[in-house]
């Protein structure tokens, strides 16, 4: 397994700091989900932990070493990242895309091998894409495309996988399809998975560990049932809500309040109660 942590991390855009002196350890072999309002720094933090963004100070530590001092191929053998809204060149097939995941293992001395072939085949099978291997990626449905990109990260065979909003632009059926795939992969192979998700209820359902981010700081972290409370949701999202147990899974289920709709519902209820009397 590979450990991943941030130590005294400082991240900024120009003169504006997003995080200062942030410390975070990602639990090994678990699914961790970052939650928070738009612009709070979730994706920025994820990108920095994949070495896609250079910190102003502090470090990201991967398997005991400073990720900044590692070679690109060394990092790519330990950590894979699926950014938000990836795009493939026109006409690229699913098979060609998934084969890109084997790039970290190629060199002048080590060309394509039976091991590479097996990794690609296993990734296609795990994502249910074996029959679509020769299809162009841009001809697939949204859910199929996302599975193809996940298959590429699987073929990379890294112990750590980072995903930035993997369910964005997907309908509910495809959201569940993708999250189920990641859950099963974690359960079967104990890979460490870190995701940014906007849907709080799905985050609670699939996460072992939630990190709630607010104004450049970690507001709370832990198991969903420890972290997700009405007080936390109001502090992080400035939203009043009710938290109940998901009737299927027992995980926290957030029911948001609003003003006009809630007032109308109460008025309708009172009116109906008056008629019944």
* Number of domains comprising the chain: 1
267 domain-assigned = no
Q: Looking at the domain assignment, is residue 71 inside a domain? A: no
Tens of pLDDT, residue by residue over 59-118, are 999 999 999 999 999 999 999 999 887 888 899 999 999 999 999 988 777 788 889 999
Q: 100 is in which domain, residue-wise?
A: 88-155
**pLDDT at position 16, please?**
81
Any domain includes 111: yes
Domain-located, residue 128: yes
Q: How far apart are CA 199 and CA 37, in angstroms?
A: 11
Q: What is the 3-state secondary structure (H, E, C) of the chain?
A: CCCEEEEEEEEEECCEEEEEEEEEEECCCCEEEEECCCCCCHHHHHHHHCCCCCCCEEEEEECCEEHHHCCHHHHHHHEEEECCCCCCCCCCEHHHHHHHHHHHHCCCCCCCCHHHHHHHHHHHHHCCCHHHCCCEHHHCCHHHHHHHHHHHHHHCCCCEEEEECCCCCCCHHHHHHHHHHHHHHHHHHCCEEEEECCCHHHHHHHCCEEEEEECCEEEEEECHHHHCCHHHHHHHHCCCEEEEECCCCCCEEEEECCCHHHHHHHHHHHHHHHHHC
Q: Under 8 Å CB-to-CB from 61, ≥6 apart: which residues?
A: 3, 4, 5, 6, 7, 67
Looking at the domain assignment, is residue 147 inside a domain?
Answer: yes
Does a structural domain hold residue 145?
yes
In a domain, residue 101? The reply is: yes
Q: pTM of the entire structure?
A: 0.87
| Residue 277 pLDDT | 55
Nearest to 161 by CA among 76, 257, 42, 252: 76
What string of pLDDT tens digits covers the 277 residues of the chain? 578 999 999 998 877 888 989 999 999 999 999 999 988 889 999 999 999 988 999 999 999 999 999 999 999 999 999 988 788 889 999 999 999 999 998 877 778 888 999 999 999 998 889 999 999 999 998 889 989 999 999 899 999 999 999 888 788 988 898 899 899 989 998 999 999 999 999 999 999 999 999 988 999 999 999 999 999 999 999 999 999 999 999 999 999 998 676 666 666 666 666 665 5
CA distance 201 to 28: 23
Instruction: Say if 144 falls within a structural domain.
Output: yes
């Amino acid at each position: 397994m590979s450990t991943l942590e941030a130590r005294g991390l400082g991240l900024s855009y120009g003169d504006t700091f997003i995080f200062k002196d942030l410390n975070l350890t990602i639990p090994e072999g678990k699914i961790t989900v970052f939650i928070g309002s738009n612009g709070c720094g979730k994706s920025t933090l994820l990108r920095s932990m994949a070495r896609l963004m250079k910190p102003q100070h502090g470090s990201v530590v991967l398997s005991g070493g400073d990720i900044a001092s590692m070679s690109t191929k060394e990092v790519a053998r330990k950590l894979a990242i699926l950014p938000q809204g990836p795009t493939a060149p026109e006409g690229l097939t699913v098979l060609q895309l998934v084969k890109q995941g084997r790039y970290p293992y190629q060199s002048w001395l080590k060309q394509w091998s039976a091991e590479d072939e097996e990794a690609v085949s296993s990734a296609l099978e795990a994502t249910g894409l074996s029959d679509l291997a020769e299809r162009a990626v841009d001809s697939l449905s949204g859910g199929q495309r996302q599975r193809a990109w996940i298959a590429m990260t699987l073929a990379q065979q890294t112990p750590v996988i980072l995903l930035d909003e993997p369910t964005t632009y997907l309908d509910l059926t495809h959201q569940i399809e993708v999250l189920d795939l990641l859950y099963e992969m974690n359960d079967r192979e104990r890979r460490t998975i870190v995701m940014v998700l906007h849907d709080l209820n799905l985050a609670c359902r699939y996460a072992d560990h939630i990190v709630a981010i607010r104004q450049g700081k970690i507001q709370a972290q832990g198991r969903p049932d420890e972290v997700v409370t009405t007080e936390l949701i109001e502090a992080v999202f400035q939203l009043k809500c009710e938290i109940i147990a998901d009737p299927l899974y027992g995980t926290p289920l957030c029911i948001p309040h609003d003003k006009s709709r809630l007032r109308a519902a109460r008025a309708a209820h009172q009116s109906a109660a008056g008629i019944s009397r």
